[in-house]
A and B are shown apart, each in its own frame.
Chain A
Amino acid sequence: GESVGLHLPTLSVQEGDNSIINCAYSNSASDYFIWYKQESGKGPQFIIDIRSNMDKRQGQRVTVLLNKTVKHLSLQIAATQPGDSAVYFCAETVENAGNMLTFGGGTRLMVKP
């Protein structure tokens, strides 16, 4: 896992706006990526995943974009709601090479009513 200091990057958005959370990953060999949401007092919860043969994947109100050229991942949340307030982590792995996930440092999303 990666380290995160006391000061997580924070994104503050107005309820109803769209949110974009970014993540730079480290391993050019990584071929499977996951976004997790962690609410206070809970474990990280799976939101959406994407494999390296895709550059975009959509879920319900969420979209993940993958740019392998610059090793960048983003999570877009449409019509952000108060319940979306949490810390969001990206994770990367090389499938079929041990299943170990490497986590990014996390971004705190705060939704203002």
Chain B
Amino acid sequence: DAGVIQSPRHEVTEMGQEVTLRCKPISGHDYLFWYRQTMMRGLELLIYFNNNVPIDDSGMPEDRFSAKMPNASFSTLKIQPSEPRDSAVYFCASSKQGGYGYTFGSGTRLTVV
């Protein structure tokens, strides 16, 4: 298994632009999570899905952030419009029912200038 695959690895964009981050979870995993990591706040859970359905999005900072999971093998996190304070590393993780095999992707480093 190739693990959790995220793209792009790095993204530099100008303030106000739309940014889309992508994630392919491990096949057979029922849960998908989006995290944001910064020096100041550490790892923050933004949103998670179970069987493609969003379960808890209370961590999403504001309406500029949205996430979708159209099928079991793909999810997107979109920021529109982006702001400099959104600069962070965004991780996707997936797991099976019961917490087994909770695995992170390599992350997308987002820089908004």
Measured CA separation A46–B59 after assembly (Å): 23
Contact B45 A1 (CB under 8 A): yes
Contact B103 A46 (CB under 8 A): yes
**Count, chain A residues at interface, CB 8 A:** 26
Q: Which of A17-25, A63-71, A76-84, A101-109 contacts B (4 or more CB under 8 A)?
A: A101-109
Q: Which of B36-44, B62-70, B71-79 contacts A (4 or more CB under 8 A)?
A: B36-44
Whether A89 is near chain B, meaning CB under 8 Å from some CB there, is yes
B99 partner residues in chain A, CB cutoff 8 A: 32, 34, 93, 95, 99, 101
Majority secondary structure of chain B interface residues (helix, strand, loop or mixed)? strand
A106 partner residues in chain B, CB cutoff 8 A: 42
Q: How many A-B residue pairs have CB under 8 A?
A: 72
Q: From known contacts A3-B40, A6-B39, A99-B50, infer whether A46 and B102 are also in contact, taking CB-CB under 8 Å.
A: yes
Q: Which of B6-49 contact A (CB under 8 A)?
A: 31, 33, 35, 39-45, 48
| B91 contact from A43, A91, A98, A100, Cβ within 8 A | A43
| 22 intermolecular pairs with C-beta atoms under 8 Å apart | A1-B43, A1-B44, A1-B59, A3-B40, A3-B42, A34-B99, A42-B107, A43-B4, A43-B93, A43-B106, A46-B101, A46-B103, A91-B102, A95-B98, A95-B99, A96-B97, A99-B50, A99-B95, A99-B102, A101-B102, A103-B42, A105-B42
